[in-house]
Amino acid sequence: MNRNQTRHRGRTVFLCAAFCLCLTGLTGRLGYLMIGRAEELSRMAEELHQRERSIKAARGRILDRNGEVLAGNRAVCTVSVVHNQIEDPQEVIRALAGMLDLPEETVQKKVETYSAREILKTNVEKETGDAIRRLNLAGVKVDEDYRRYYPYGSLASRVLGFTGGDNQGIIGLEVRYEEYLKGTDGTILTLTDAAGVEIENAAEGRIEPMPGRDLVTSLDRNIQMYAEQAAYRALEEKKAGNVSVIVMDPRNGEILAMVNAPEFDLNDPFTLLPGLETGTGNRQDQLNRMWRNPCINDTYEPGSTFKIITAAAGLEEGAVTLEDSFFCPGYRIVEDRKIRCHKTGGHGSETFLQGMMNSCNPVLIDVGQRLGVEAYYRYFTQFGLLEKTGIDLPGEAVTIMHRKENMKAVELATVSFGQSFQITPLQLITTVSSLINGGTRVTPHLALRAQETDGSAARAFDYPQGERILSEEKSAALRFILEQVVAQGSGKQAQVAGYRIGGKTATSEKLPRSRKKYISSFVGFAPADDPQVIALITIDEPEGVYYGGTIAAPVIGNLFEMILPYLGIAADGDQNG
């Protein structure tokens, strides 16, 4: 055998060995794929030929305390196209452009897009979606969907809030309780061939959606309506900038109504209210202003309603009694400042009780001076005024108060009758509730429980309550004082025949003082000896007469005339005055 033959045979053996080795490797790899990764590869192949569409979950409803639906859902459709499944593009374009009120160019662009699915339009009325479905156009999908619907339009708009295009909450309770309301979407799975065309008669997979939980709130639709009617009446009669009303159960902090007039339409939340289009800022700024809830997001100088807090601190500290004597010449000089009473001629000699009935600034200045900064500031903390109330709505503002080290005699004097600092309406009514309910701090709240659609409870919400901030004895004395304010004092126009009403008026001048703009307010509760309901109204920049006792107190009186019998609070036959 010559050298060439030997070399040729060696090469042949090498190639055969290499081929056997490769074949062995490929066989091993094939075995591994067929046995070891069979399940995974099968799943991947299935996914490659599957088309997935979501089934929107119904959002949980928002209910009032009596089960009335305040926020529900309306059935709508989502219309989409799948390019590879369309048989007659021109027919699809003509039909959908007309039925969905879309330009043909828009529909054509979607139809010609190579993708698993192109959404043409969401929130399509169910009648239109059903009509498209009946056309049985290949490549056109009509899926069920839901759109948020508010049956009472603008009722409690800034409290309930609304949802965006993705059906997620944006403001109010809708965003605060998103995790309970949103639900879990389902899916529809269809099989397609390599070209993306659905396989005829192939089984369709379906994972059903899980609806969100219903949210039961403390709101009472009827009381909310009564309060809104009263607010709009005041808004129109006084040509005010806005009017806010809060109605609460002072015993537990449950909010029965919260009004910010004018309210906006929850079914059309992106249309600005009249007058806002001419405001400053871009459109988003204007929308944000419209969506703000002044009851909790904005602060103001409370004026004489804050005298309730000064009186409570003075009584609890022993700095004053109801019979203590004072003299009002129409002003009080504190350091280098002459601070006037609303009655420029003065009230003359009066007891502390009479001073509260007359809403006399010098009397409350004297009580504040008797307390001193240290003690007064301690009561701010004790009463919870320096912290947020903890309400279950987003964006709550905090009290703007002097720092203790910066609070001198003049600041103490002005704070004593409700000026030179700012507070939210919610903080004021919460603090007054806590002072007149026997002296226990309450947490204002709206959500009572989240429950399944069949009514079975999923979760009841608890709120901090019960911390004592005022003795029962002094709470009773405060209720008596405020009853006399309505019976014979500055709050007479809040009287309701047959009921004992307590309350306090206020007229506060807005900053800058040179504008001569005011906020008129009144906080009242009933029955005066056993408070079961409390209400606060603020009228911002009323025209003409602006005194709280004249324009704010009657609104609450009229509101109580409607809601006290509705709440089953019996008249006792004793009329104030």
Provide the residue type at 271 as one letter: T
Q: Which amino acid is at 229?
A: Q
Contacts 24+ apart (CB under 8 A), 565-572: 566/222, 566/223, 566/226, 567/223, 567/532, 567/533, 569/499, 569/526, 569/527, 569/532, 569/533, 571/497, 571/498, 571/499, 572/498, 572/499, 572/500, 572/527
Contact (CB, 8 A) for 435 and 504: no
Distance, CA of 388 to CA of 175 (rounded, Å): 19
**CB-based burial of residue 36 (10 Å sphere; 0-12 exposed, 13-18 middle, 19+ buried)?**
exposed
- Which structure tokens are listed for 150? 């508010």
Count of helices and strands (H, E) across the chain: 19, 19
554 cis-preceded (ω within 30 degrees of 0): no
Give the Cα separation of 87 and 97 in Å (integer): 17
* DSSP for residue 263: P
Q: What are phi and psi of 494, to 5 degrees?
A: -100, 5
Burial class (CB in 10 A: 0-12, 13-18, 19+), 338: exposed
Q: Residue 466: CA atoms inside 13 Å, Cβ hemisphere, count?
A: 3
Helices (H), 142-293: 157-160, 172-176, 178-181, 221-238, 283-291
d(CA 150, CA 263): 13
Tokens of 517: 């703009």
| Ranges assigned E (strand) in 171-266 | 186-191, 205-207, 214-217, 242-248, 255-261
User: Which tokens go with 541?
Assistant: 């920049």
Catalytic residues: 304
Enclosing H/E stretch for 522: strand 518-526
